[in-house]
Amino acid sequence: MMESTLLPAEPLPEAQREGVYQAIFTRRDTRGEFLPDPVPDAVLSRILTAAHHAPSVGFMQPWSFVLVRSPEVRRRVHDAFLKAHAEAALMFPEDKREIYRSLKLEGIMEAPINICITCDRERAGRVVIGRTHIRTMDLYSSVCAVQNLWLAARAEGLGIGWVSIFDNAVVQQALNIPAGIVPVAYLCVGKIRGYHPRPELESAGWRARLPLDQLIHFDQWGAQGGEDGLLEQLRDDEAALAEDRFTITR
Ligand SMILES: Cc1cc2nc3c(=O)[nH]c(=O)nc-3n(C[C@H](O)[C@H](O)[C@H](O)COP(=O)(O)O)c2cc1C
């Protein structure tokens, strides 16, 4: 292995560190707040560059980005959404169907640009370091690119809405994506009127955020709870967030 000079492993300066957490905690899935203004190329370039610097199994970089501005192409994806959305409503218990139908779950036509992030399952050949035993690792890598893009977009004041309610084959066809390349995420991207302070599904009473301390296991699945100091800290951080007083120096 070639030796390379290491960069210092110091925490980032405080303001930058706060900024990372701010981006994470105030990022939202955006559907109904898009403005028609185009996203400047300089901003689009930065968030795509952030996505391209995501981790990937075997440094495979399996992603590509289909930028969709054409109203005709977006209309085809939107039609696929409408069909799947109607089907989906019937899958929920009757008492939830009305709420489901009332939710705004996409901004395909309103957002000035849609971005489909794909995964080329053969990009680095058949045998890929790190993916030899769990083949889906390439798909997870593309999802890492999605999250980088999403957080960078938040830092830039843009909104992103992930749309997954459609037959993926229709999207594949509408975007002319070859077989073997999987559409992983279809994202609506653009400037927005503002961010909801909480997930919309939470505000709508659909589902609440789970208590993090109940999702932690020690060494073995099911070994939970107790008087561990970490759990106390987690509860404290969640409370601070809920009360809008989360800082790294609290
Ligand atoms: C894989 C994935 C698929 C999603 N698909 C949709 C979707 O089809 N429509 C939608 O409105 N939101 C979709 N979302 C957004 C989630 O509903 C949202 O992330 C969640 O409710 C939490 O809200 P937040 O992202 O604003 O924190 C998706 C999110 C993920 C990660």
Ordered strands of the 113-120 beta sheet: 65-68, 113-120, 181-191, 158-163
Q: How far is the CA of 105 from the centre of ligand 1 (A)?
A: 8
Query: Looking at the domain assignment, is residue 246 inside a domain?
Result: yes
- Please, are residues 189 and 50 in contact by the beta-carbon 8 Å criterion? no
User: Same domain for 179 and 233?
Assistant: no
Convert the pLDDT of each residue in 10-36 to its tens digit.
Answer: 999 999 999 999 999 999 999 999 999
Q: For residue 250, name the pLDDT band (cuts at 50, 70, 90).
A: confident
User: Same domain for 229 and 159?
Assistant: no
User: Same domain for 177 and 155?
Assistant: yes
> Per-residue pLDDT for 76 more than 70?
yes
User: How many structural domains are present in the chain?
Assistant: 2
**H/E run at residue 19:** helix 14-26
Query: Looking at the domain assignment, is residue 18 inside a domain?
Result: no
Distance between CA atoms of residues 130 and 63, nearest Å: 17
Range of the domain at 93: 26-208
Mean pLDDT of 47-57: 99
| CB of 84 sitting under 6 A from ligand 1 | no
> Per-residue pLDDT for 1 more than 70?
no
In the chain, what's the furthest Cα-to-Cα distance? 63
User: Same domain for 214 and 134?
Assistant: no
Q: How far is the CA of 162 from the centre of ligand 1 (A)?
A: 6
User: Same domain for 126 and 175?
Assistant: yes
- Please, are residues 76 and 116 in contact by the beta-carbon 8 Å criterion? no
The pTM (predicted TM-score) of the whole model is 0.96
Distance between CA atoms of residues 154 and 194, nearest Å: 11
Q: How far is the CA of 29 from the centre of ligand 1 (A)?
A: 6
User: Same domain for 96 and 171?
Assistant: yes
User: Same domain for 149 and 235?
Assistant: no
Which two tokens mark 221? 């699945």
Pairing of strands 65-68, 113-120: antiparallel
Distance between CA atoms of residues 180 and 183, nearest Å: 10
